[in-house]
């Protein structure tokens, strides 16, 4: 049975509606990945700072270690 043009249009519209949702999910995932990577790098750097640098930014070794121990997904 041949497919009617109205059925093709409905299929096209359905595909168009899904693309923005998929794109939105991918963009959100990319942003989340950037945030998580930044947190991990920052915490790793914080753990490696010497006492002088920690004093310069106003935190103690204990505070730095507590922050560095947090998993990357936790703010």
What are the residue ranges spanned by the domains of the chain?
Answer: 5-69
Segment 13-60, tens digit of pLDDT: 555 566 799 999 999 999 999 999 999 999 999 999 999 999 999 999
pLDDT for 59 equals 96
Structure tokens at 69: 């121990």
8 Å CB contact between 9 and 17: no
Give CA–CA dist 7/10, Å, rounded.
Answer: 5
pLDDT for 10 equals 54
8 Å CB contact between 70 and 43: yes
72 CB-near residues (< 8 Å, 6+ apart) = 36, 37, 39, 40, 43
At what angle are helices 5-48 and 61-69 packed, to 10 degrees?
A: 150
């Amino acid at each position: 049975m041949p497919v009617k043009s109205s059925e093709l249009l409905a299929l096209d519209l359905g595909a168009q509606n899904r693309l923005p949702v998929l794109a939105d999910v991918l963009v959100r995932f990319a942003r989340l990945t950037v945030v998580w990577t930044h947190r991990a790098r920052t915490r790793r750097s914080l753990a490696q700072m010497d006492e002088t640098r920690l004093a310069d930014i106003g935190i103690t070794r204990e505070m730095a270690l507590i922050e560095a121990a947090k998993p990357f997904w936790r703010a």
